[in-house]
Amino acid sequence: MITRRQAVLSTLFGTGMIGLRALATGLPTSLLINPRRALADVPASGCPNPGQAQFIIFNTSGQGDPINANVPGMYDDPQIVHSADPSMAPTQLMIASKSYTAAAPWAQLPQDVLDRTCFWHLMTDTPVHPKEPDVLKLMGATAAGEMLPSVLAKQLASCLGTIQAQPLCLGATTPAESLSFGGSALPIIPALALKSTLTSPSGPLTDLQPLRDDTLNQLYDLYKNDATPAQRAYIDSLVTSQRQVRNLDQSLLDSLSSIQDNSPASQVIAAVTLIQMKVTPVISIHIPFGGDNHRDLGLADESSQTVAGVQSIASLMQLLSSAGLGDRVLFASLNVFGRTLGPGNADGRQHNENHQVSLTIGKSIRGGVVGGVMPVAKDYGATPIDSKTGAAADNGDISAGETLASYGKTLLSAVGVDSATISAQINGGKVISGVLG
Go through the domains of the chain in sequence order and give each one's CATH number: 1-44+198-261 (no CATH), 53-190+262-435 (3.40.720.10)
- Amino acid at the residue 357: V
**C-alpha span between 401 and 125 (Å, rounded):** 7
Q: Can you give the pLDDT at residue 388?
A: 97
127-136 pLDDT, tens per residue? Answer: 999 999 999 9
Q: What 3-state DSSP class applies to 332?
A: strand
Q: Is the pLDDT of residue 212 over 80?
A: yes
Residue 338 has pLDDT above 90, yes or no: yes
Query: DSSP letter string over 301-324?
Result: HHHHHHHHHHHHHHHHHHHHHHTT
Band of residue 208 on the pLDDT scale cut at 50, 70, 90: confident
Give the model's pLDDT for residue 43.
53
Q: Which pLDDT score is estimated for 48?
A: 66
Residues β-bridged to residue 381: 374
Average pLDDT over residues 384-394: 97
User: What's the pLDDT tens digit per position in 43-65?
Assistant: 554 566 778 999 999 999 999 99
Has residue 1 got a pLDDT over 60?
no
136-140, 160-164, 298-302, 349-353 — most confident range: 136-140
- Percent of the chain residues topping a pLDDT of 70: 97
pLDDT at position 33 is 87
Encoded amino acid at 80, one letter: I
Cβ(90)–Cβ(349) below 8 Å: no
Quote the DSSP letter at residue 226.
I
How far, in Å, CA of 202 to CA of 198, rounded?
Answer: 8
**Within the chain, how many helices (H) and strands (E) appear?**
16, 15
What is the rounded average pLDDT of the residues 219-243? 88
In terms of C-beta density within 10 A (0-12 exposed, 13-18 middle, 19 or more buried), how is residue 17 classed?
middle
Distance CA 337, CA 348 (A): 13
Query: Where are the strands (E) in 272-425, listed by range?
Result: 282-285, 329-335, 338-339, 351-352, 356-361, 368-370, 373-376, 379-382
Task: Name which of 46-50, 219-223, 224-228, 230-234 the model is least confident about.
Answer: 46-50
**Higher-pLDDT residue of 418, 1:** 418
Residue 203, classified by CB atoms within 10 Å of its CB into exposed (0-12), middle (13-18) or buried (19+), is middle
23-41 tens-digit pLDDT: 889 888 888 888 888 887 7
Identify the three-state secondary structure at position 358: strand
Which of 199-203, 237-241, 354-358 shows the highest mean pLDDT? Answer: 354-358
**CB within 8 A of 165, min separation 6: which ones?**
153, 154, 157, 181, 280, 281
Q: What are phi and psi of 263, to 5 degrees?
A: -70, 170
d(CA 377, CA 304): 30
In degrees to the nearest 10, what's the CA dihedral of 210, 213, 214, 217? -170
Report the pLDDT value the prediction gives residue 346, as an integer from 0 to 100. Answer: 67
Name the average pLDDT for the chain: 92
- Which of 428, 433, 426, 419 is closest to 387 using CA atoms? 433
Q: Are 340 and 352 in contact (CB under 8 A)?
A: yes
Q: How confident is the model at residue 81 (pLDDT cuts 50, 70, 90)?
A: very high
SS3 428: coil
User: Quick one: the chain helix, strand, coil %, rounded to 5?
Assistant: 45, 15, 40
> What sections of 1-60 are H helices per DSSP?
4-13, 18-25, 29-33, 35-40
- For residue 188, what pLDDT is reported? 93
Q: Residues 386-406: what's their mean pLDDT?
A: 97
